[in-house]
Amino acid sequence: MAACAAFAGLHSAAHAQASFPNKPITLIVPNPPGGLVDGSARIVSDALAKVLAQPVVVTNQPGGSGNVAYGNVAKAAPDGYTLLTSYSAYHVGYPHMNPKLPWAQKDLTPVALVTVATNVIAVHPSIQANTLPEFIAYVKKNPGKLSYASQGNGSLSHMGTEMFKQRNGISMVHIPYRGSGAAITDVLSGQVQVFITTPPSVMGHIQAGKLKGLAVAGPTRHSGIPHVPTTAEAGLKGFELEAWVGIFAPAGTPPDVVAKLSGAIKQAMETPETKSRAQTAGIEIRYKDAAALDAQVKQETEFWGKVIASSKITMD
């Protein structure tokens, strides 16, 4: 009887995996609505729901600087029905900043990289500089007088701007916010003067002339703001800053479920509708499978660990 029960249990689990998915999937976002991570989640969820023929529900859980969402997914049932939309800075940076996180990288299984976004160096029009070299010179003449916004302590805008400061020997005051929405409000008002962030947050404001775009921190210009030069074109070679968004499942999720999800995400991201939505939002689609995403996480965890240590970046 025990043997029969064990067989029945294995058969049931195998059947559940084979029929996956047979109910809605929850895609948890560690950020408030708006910005790169939330926008990527909604682009992915709509297209993925069509591929899998099941609803994919986006749920924002921005508490604890994103750690609430990470902790909840890490503790979720490893069945593929609860997924995390992970932001690169949280994933590779936080483990270096806080040894008491409610999650660890080993608690999350890579599924797929979905989107990336370069960063834009944007400043308030009141700043008396129209090019990146002029801006760097201006800050050097006014050390500590300018402030820069970030989406929060440990965000890529925080780590990246600290790296920018190191590279150029300049001083600015860090003002952390809870997400891009609150940050951009103060940057537009001039209360905070500088924001190095992804295009979805500032692209429209640069197009409207409400902010100055000094440089795109990537290898090529951005299609939404083609008049803005790259950092290399502006004279700052070697400074590139790119955020990514990946999908992760709880550790222990069956490999065949991970493979099915990854393949479905690839299919979803290749549709013309998805590509159009991403381009309009200023987000670049860049699919990588689970193994490639895992390798990228390991490489960037090592890189940002050195930046965090040298800049003494903390989550407080």
pLDDT at 193: 97
| Cβ atoms of residues 224 and 216 within 8 Å | no
| Cβ atoms of residues 102 and 71 within 8 Å | yes
What are the strands, taking DSSP E only, across 125-217? 147-150, 173-176, 194-197, 212-216
Residue 277: half-sphere exposure toward Cβ, Cα within 13 Å: 18
pLDDT at 32: 84
What integer is the mean pLDDT of 69-88? 97
Q: Indicate the DSSP class of residue 101.
A: -
Q: How far is CA 100 from the centre of its chain?
A: 22
What is the number of other CB atoms lying within 10 angstroms of the CB of residue 286? 15
> Which residues 6+ apart lie within 8 Å of 278 measured at CB?
43, 115, 284, 285
What integer is the mean pLDDT of 171-185? 90
| Cβ atoms of residues 115 and 43 within 8 Å | yes
User: Measured over all CA atoms, what is the biggest interatomic distance in the chain, rounded to whole angstroms?
Assistant: 82
C-alpha dihedral sign at 184, 187, 191, 192: positive
What integer is the mean pLDDT of 76-81? 98
Q: How far is CA 304 from the centre of its chain?
A: 14
Computed over every residue of the chain, the mean pLDDT equals 92
What integer is the mean pLDDT of 45-70? 94
Distance CA 246, CA 70 (A): 13
C-alpha dihedral sign at 229, 121, 217, 87: negative
Residue type at 153 in one-letter notation: N
Lowest mean pLDDT across 69-73, 143-147, 164-168, 200-204? 200-204
Confidence of residue 12 (pLDDT cuts 50, 70, 90): very low
Distance CA 95, CA 171 (A): 26
Minimal CA–CA distance to 124: which of 176, 193, 206? 193
What is the number of other CB atoms lying within 10 angstroms of the CB of residue 103? 24
Question: Per-residue pLDDT for 10 more than 50?
Answer: no
Q: Using one digit for the tens of pLDDT, what is the confidence trace for 257-289?
A: 999 999 999 999 999 999 999 988 888 999 999
pLDDT at 108: 98
Distance CA 78, CA 50 (A): 23
> Which residues 6+ apart lie within 8 Å of 189 measured at CB?
none
Q: Using one digit for the tens of pLDDT, what is the confidence trace for 183-206?
A: 999 999 999 999 999 888 899 999
pLDDT at 292: 98
Helix (H, G, I), strand (E, B) or coil at 123: strand
